[in-house]
Amino acid sequence: MIQAQLEIQLIAAVVAAACALPGVFLVLRKMSMMSDAISHAILPGIVLGFFATSDLASPLLIAGATLTGVLTVALVEMISSTRLIKEDAAIGIVFPALFSVGVILIAQYAGDVHLDIDAVLLGELAFAPFDRLVVGGQDIGPRSLYLMSGVLVVNILFIVIFFKELKVATFDAGLAAALGLMPVLIHYLLMGLVSVTAVGAFDAVGSILVVALMVGPPSAAYLLTDRLSVMLVLSALIGAGSAVAGYWMAHALDASIGGAMATMVGVAFFFTWLLAPDKGYVARQRRRTRQRWTFATKMLTVHLLSHEGLPEAAEECREDHLTHHLRWEPAFATQAVKTAMSDGLVARSGPLLELTPAGRKHAARAVVEI
């Protein structure tokens, strides 16, 4: 592996981790689509800033574009507070409008600036290692690595310092307000953080794929844990892992790195959704099946207990009668009896089904529970 490859992967991983951290709060606050709105709406800010500074990493540009992001959120909230348009529609109106202005600006001045529409959508991660940061004549590494590491550190510091406030404001905004934790201020700080991160990541992965990095890893982590701190760490790890995997996918196909990173985020989420312990699809299905048979054996033992020793037992306590009395399908009845027998709750005596002592106890407990 040559040094440039290593550097690209490092940048990709840092970008992904930086995006995943504020993304956790977006996902938990049901504001995922705000990342879509912000990452699009910062485009005119970036373009105008680029005209002014002709440097995508200039602090002035980052500050200006971040402001655009926060203003977008304020604009969306202002429009939806008039109640003329619902919030989701307001989001869907505001960001395409701002994004369009940005694209038109780029297209109009395409000849004059080194910023083209492909870069807006894809980012230019592959070129990142060519832009070096030189301090005192010494090459100390790619500039975007330092930029994104800076953003990552800011995100980590913000979350560590305001962890309590963020937590309360996210899960119980009313309580946060009552405790004087200023949920509105936290909300806007968070939006500022999302904007800064989107502006920084824009260079690497483009505007639309930022959404994948902000929403995907936290969603996957959400299926793995119930603890906020664990979710934050997992999100950053899943994001970084997907980024590195994406790099190698792009390398193999000779395709866009940003797009491949987003694809790998999707793949990571898919497998988490499928296989997550407890909250994954397979685990849920298995739990459901288990509950079905637990309930069926309960029904069976209670049924047998209620007719045990009575004259109609010869009629009622037969496997083929279960289809009639409990309205079970024949195959289901057979399987239920088999399960109950393997659990040692029921035994056969000729054509009749009989409760074992354990089965009697089981049925008695089931009756009490119900």
Partner 1 sequence: MDVLIDLFSDYTLRVVALGAAILGMSSGALGAFAVLRRQSLLGDAISHAALPGIALAFLLTGSKAPLVLVLGAAIAGWLGTLLILAVTETSRIKYDSALGMMLSVFFGFGLVLLTFIQKRPDANQAGLDTYLFGQAASLRVSDVITMASIAALALAGVAVFWKEFKVLSFDPDFGRSIGFPIRRLDIGLTTLLVISIVIGLQTVGVVLMSAMIISPAAAARQWTDRLGRMVILSGLFGAVAGVTGAALSSAKANLPTGPTIVVAVSAIVAVSLLLAPNRGMVWSRLRAWRAGRRLRMDAVLMDLFLLATQHDSAEYPHDRRVLDAMSFPRGATTRNLRLLEDRGYVQRIDATRWALTAVGADRARMLAHENPSEWRTA
- Which residue type occupies 364? A
In the complex, the smallest distance separating the C-beta of residue 197 from partner 1, rounded to whole angstroms, is: 15
User: Which residue of 115, 261, 299, 336 would you call a contact of partner 1, by CB under 8 A?
Assistant: 261
Among residues 180, 184, 185, 189, the alpha carbon closest in space to that of 159 is found at 189
Binding-site string for partner 1 from residue 262 to residue 301, where x marks contact by CB under 8 A and - marks none:
xx-xx--x---x-----xxx--x-----------------
Q: Does 177 bind partner 1 (CB under 8 A)?
A: no
Alpha-carbon distance 133 to 55, whole Å? 13
In the complex, the smallest distance separating the C-beta of residue 360 from partner 1, rounded to whole angstroms, is: 39
In the complex, the smallest distance separating the C-beta of residue 207 from partner 1, rounded to whole angstroms, is: 9
Between 11 and 304, name the residue whose CB sits nearer to partner 1: 11
SS3 (DSSP) at 344: coil
Alpha-carbon distance 248 to 13, whole Å? 12
DSSP for 17-53? HHHHHHHHHHHHTT-HHHHHHHHHHHHHHHHHHHHHH
Binding-site string for partner 1 from residue 106 to residue 125, where x marks contact by CB under 8 A and - marks none:
-xx-x------x---xx---
Q: Residue 194 in contact with residue 38, Cβ under 8 Å?
A: yes
For the record, the structure tokens of 55 come out as 């440097």
Q: Does 244 bind partner 1 (CB under 8 A)?
A: no
Q: Does 245 bind partner 1 (CB under 8 A)?
A: no
Q: Does 223 bind partner 1 (CB under 8 A)?
A: yes
In the complex, the smallest distance separating the C-beta of residue 184 from partner 1, rounded to whole angstroms, is: 20
Angle ∠(230,234,238) on CA atoms, nearest 5? 175
Q: Does 36 bind partner 1 (CB under 8 A)?
A: yes
Alpha-carbon distance 293 to 189, whole Å? 51
Q: Does 81 bind partner 1 (CB under 8 A)?
A: no
Q: Does 259 bind partner 1 (CB under 8 A)?
A: yes
Alpha-carbon distance 117 to 110, whole Å? 9
Between 284 and 338, name the residue whose CB sits nearer to partner 1: 284
Burial code (b: 16+ CB inside 10 Å, e: under 16) for 103-140 equals bebbeeeeeeeebeeebbbbbbbbebbebeeeeeeeee
Q: Residue 345 in contact with residue 352, Cβ under 8 Å?
A: no
In the complex, the smallest distance separating the C-beta of residue 95 from partner 1, rounded to whole angstroms, is: 9
In the complex, the smallest distance separating the C-beta of residue 192 from partner 1, rounded to whole angstroms, is: 19
Q: Which stretch binds partner 1 (CB under 8 A): 5-13, 98-106, 318-326, 345-353?
A: 98-106
Alpha-carbon distance 130 to 126, whole Å? 9
Residues in touch with partner 1 (CB under 8 A): 27, 30-33, 35-36, 79, 82, 84-86, 88-93, 96-97, 99-101, 103-104, 107-108, 110, 117, 121-122, 208-212, 214-216, 218-219, 222-223, 249-250, 253-256, 258-263, 265-266, 269, 273, 279-281, 284
